[in-house]
Amino acid sequence: MSSIAFTNIATLVTNDVSAGEGAIGVLHNATVVVEDGLISQITQTRPSGVDSEVDCSGKTLLPGFVDSHSHLIFAGDRADEFATRSQGAKYTAGGIASTVKATRAASDADLRQNAQRLLNEALSTGTTTMEIKSGYGLTEKDELRSLAIASEFTDETTLLAAHVIPEEFESNPDGYVELIINSIIPKSKAKWIDAFCDLDAFDPEQSEAILRAGVAAGMQVRIHANQLSAGVGVALAVALDAASADHVSKSTNADIELLASSNTVATLLPGAEFSTHLQSGLGRRFLDAGATVAIASDCNPGSSYTTTIPFCIATAVSLLGFTVEEAVKAATLGGAQALRRTDIGMVSVGKRADFVLLNAPSYIHLAYRPGVNLVHSTYKSGRAVTSWQK
C-alpha cells in the first residue's frame, strides 16, 4: 500500500456537514491522508507513517468538479453564431445542423483529438469526472462511433441520438425516432439515454418512446427539458425516475416543486445561460424550493463553449442567484448525484481521492476571482494528473 498526506490545508471543503462547518463541511488547517487512491483519514493532527507529504499551506482543497453534462464529440465551431447572438439574435438550437455536418465529415482521429484537447482543458481547471454525450452524428454509424470515442475517456457515456431531427428526416421525424429505437439503441453500449424534449426538437411522445426504449436496453435516463419553452419534460423525467433533468430554464413553479419532491436532480448550465441570455436568477427558484441542484459546463460549440467549471461557479453566483457555497456544492456533490455516483463529490473517508488544490486560501475565490485559473493541481485517485485519461 502507498500513502500520501496532504497537510496544512488552509481550507478543506468536505461536502460532509457532519465533518465540518456550514453547508459544505469546511475544516481549517486539516490533513487528508490517501491510501491506494482512497481517502483513509481526515485529521487536524499530523499523521505518522505515510510515504510522502504535500504541503498545502495557504491553499484550498476541495472535491474534484463533477461535470455531469457535456457534448465533447464534435468538429468545427460556431463562433459566428455566438457573435450574432451578441447582436440580439435569440438562441433556437438551429445551429446544431452545422455541427452535425462538420462532425459527420470529421475523421475518428480528428474527433478524438478535439475531445482530448477539451478534456485536458477541463482537467487543468479542476474537473475530475466528465459525462460525454453523442448527438452530433444523428446516423447509426456516427452516433455509435461518437459513443465509442467517448468511451475511451469516460464510463459516463450518454446516447443523445435524440438531439434534433436531422435534415434528411425533416419530412419524416417519426422515421428518425424509429431509427433510434430499432437500430441505434440496440447497438449502443452507453450507460445513459437522453432526449431533447423541447420546442423544435422531440415532442413528449417521441421523447418518452426513446427513453423507454433505452431503459429496456439497460440504460439509465437523463433528459434535456424545458430549455426553450415550458413543457412536460420535467414531469416526464420524474415519471421515469431520471437521474437528472437538464437546462430546465423555462420550468414552471409546479415543475420545480415536482423536482424538489423527487429523486431527479435539476442540472443547471450557467455557461448556456451566459451565452444565450435565457434566464437570470434561475438557480434561486430551484434552491429555495429544496430541489437537489447540480451545475455543469454543457460544453458544446453552439451555446456553451467552455470546459471550465470555475467559470460556471462564478456565473452561477453572479447570474443565477447561487451563494458561493451553493455553487461549489452543485459543481461537486450535485454533479455526483446527477450521475448517481456515491464514490465522488465529497472529501470523506472511503471516497475516491479525486480533488483539486487551489492557489487560494478559500473556495470563495472561485467566484471572487472570475476568469483566473486558481488550480494548483488536480488529483485523480490521489495522483496529480496533467493529461486526461480514463
176 is in an annotated binding site: no
Cβ–Cβ < 8 Å for 159, 185: yes
Distance CA 180, CA 196 (A): 13
CA torsion sign for 267, 113, 138, 142 is: negative
Distance CA 135, CA 302 (A): 13
Query: Both ends of the chain: CA-CA distance in Å?
Result: 22
Q: Could you give the C-alpha distances from 219 to 178, 185, 215, 242, in angstroms and in order?
A: 18, 9, 5, 11
By the 10 Å C-beta count (0-12 exposed, 13-18 middle, 19+ buried), 385 is classed as middle
Vertex 382 angle, CA 11 and 120, to 5°: 90
78 is in an annotated binding site: yes
Cβ–Cβ < 8 Å for 227, 276: no
- Parallel, antiparallel or unpaired: strands 127-130 and 65-67: parallel
Closest CA to 71 of 190, 184, 158, 199: 158
305 is in an annotated binding site: no
163 is in an annotated binding site: yes
28 is in an annotated binding site: no
Other CB atoms within 10 Å distance of the CB of residue 387: 9
69 is in an annotated binding site: yes
Q: Could you give the C-alpha distances from 204 to 105, 200, 230, 237, 337, in angstroms and in order?
A: 31, 12, 12, 11, 25
Closest CA to 242 of 255, 217, 254, 259: 259
- H-run or E-run covering 294: strand 293-295
Distance between alpha carbon 272 and the CA centroid of its chain, in Å?
A: 12
300 is in an annotated binding site: yes
29 is in an annotated binding site: no
363 is in an annotated binding site: no
Annotated binding site for Zn(2+): 69, 71, 224, 298
Annotated binding site for 4-imidazolone-5-propanoate: 78, 136, 163, 227, 303
Annotated binding site: 69, 71, 78, 136, 163, 224, 227, 298, 300, 302-303
Annotated binding site for N-formimidoyl-L-glutamate: 136, 300, 302
Annotated binding site for Fe(3+): 69, 71, 224, 298
